Amino acid sequence: MAKKKIGLPPLDWLRVFEAAGRLGGFSAAAREFGLTQAAVSQRIGNLESWLGRTLFVREARGVSLTVEGESYLPLVQDSLQALERNTEDLFGKSPRELRVAGLSSNIHALVVPAISRFQRMRPKVRVMTDSVARRSSLDEERTWLQIRYGRGTWSGREAERIAPEVLVPLAAPGVEWGAPLIELRGERPAWRDWARKTGHDDLPPSVISFDSMEHALSAARQGMGVALGSEPLAQADLQAGRLRRLDLPELKTKDGYWLTWPEDRAKSKKQRALIADFLTALRG
């Protein structure tokens, strides 16, 4: 190993080292940069000569980081990310698009009413939405900014709560307590949970059951009975008078609606400011 040099190694060598360390091999790093494996190996060799240290162990089945390589990799990653973030803050253009994914019911109830508020704050930003059919599909969704339902703890994601989940007895005008209950199957508390926690033992009968809050609220709007509905998702219906809260206790839960994104995204000040404005609009 050649004697180490003083100063900062060339950026190109550091970027190739970071990719090889992150992806676990020279071939994968070569594909990421459109280089040959030999070119990647040469850059890594140059970096090792510059530092006077071996960063990778070369073996027949591939390469692996040495102890010094493992120590150096996070330092290089943090430095490259900081350089990219600060360059974007200083010289990058303001974001021109905000794209958000979520369940169709959440897009309809939470995002659509917030768009006009957001556009008053960011008139030059185009809003795009991507609907998913199932909550589990969000993990595979390529759109990284997402509306999610739960308790705000998703591995590898940051989350800011839009609204807590509060369940309230809802019905169309003219429909009173005693009308058939609209059941909702799923992870939310059901009418029996509401009755147990509020002391109401005499529940009216139920003649219809849904597996979607959106469908339960739609049935309530049509006068089909009383739904234990999500107050955040029913806001538009409540404000328009299509639904009303009955004079009965509400049921607070530990869940809520969250705006979430991966921890390694939204690092620049401009991106964070855009998300903060969108969150303000979502909270109304």
What are the tens digits of pLDDT across the range 20-67?
A: 999 999 999 999 899 999 999 999 999 999 999 999 999 878 899 999
Give pLDDT < 70 ranges for the chain: 1-6, 88-94
CB contact at 8 A, 52 and 4:
yes
pLDDT at 93: 57
Please give the Cα distance from 194 to 203 (Å, whole number). Answer: 10
Give the fold, CATH level 3, of 165-253: D-Maltodextrin-Binding Protein; domain 2 (3.40.190)
pLDDT in the model for residue 163:
97
HEC states along 116-127?
HHHHHHCCCCEE
Number of separate helices (H) and strands (E) present in the chain: 10, 11
* pTM (predicted TM-score): 0.69
The fold of the 97-163+257-283 domain, in CATH, is: D-Maltodextrin-Binding Protein; domain 2 (3.40.190)
Residue extents of the structural domains in the chain? 11-91, 97-163+257-283, 165-253
Q: Which of 114, 169, 165, 106 is nearest to 141 (CA)?
A: 106
Domains 11-91 and 165-253 share a fold: no
**How many residues are given for the chain?**
284
Place of tokens 């992870």: 187
Nearest Cα residue to 175 out of 243, 238, 229, 239: 243
Going through the chain in order, the beta strands assigned E by DSSP cover: 56-59, 62-65, 97-103, 126-132, 146-150, 157-171, 181-184, 206-210, 226-230, 244-245, 251-262
Are the beta carbons of 183 and 208 closer than 8 angstroms?
A: yes
Q: What share of the chain is helix, strand, coil (3-state, %, to 5)?
A: 45, 25, 30
Check: CB of residue 185 under 8 Å from CB of residue 227: no
In CATH, 11-91 is 1.10.10.10: yes
Among candidates 108, 96, 101, which has minimal Cα distance to 142?
A: 101
Nearest to 34 by CA among 55, 16, 47: 16
Give the side-chain half-sphere CA count within 13 A for 131: 10
Q: Phi and psi for 212 in degrees, rounded to 5?
A: -140, 130
Q: Which of 181, 177, 283 is nearest to 232 (CA)?
A: 283
Write the DSSP string, 199-248: T---PPPEEEEES-HHHHHHHHHTTS-EEEEETTTTHHHHHHTSSEE-SS
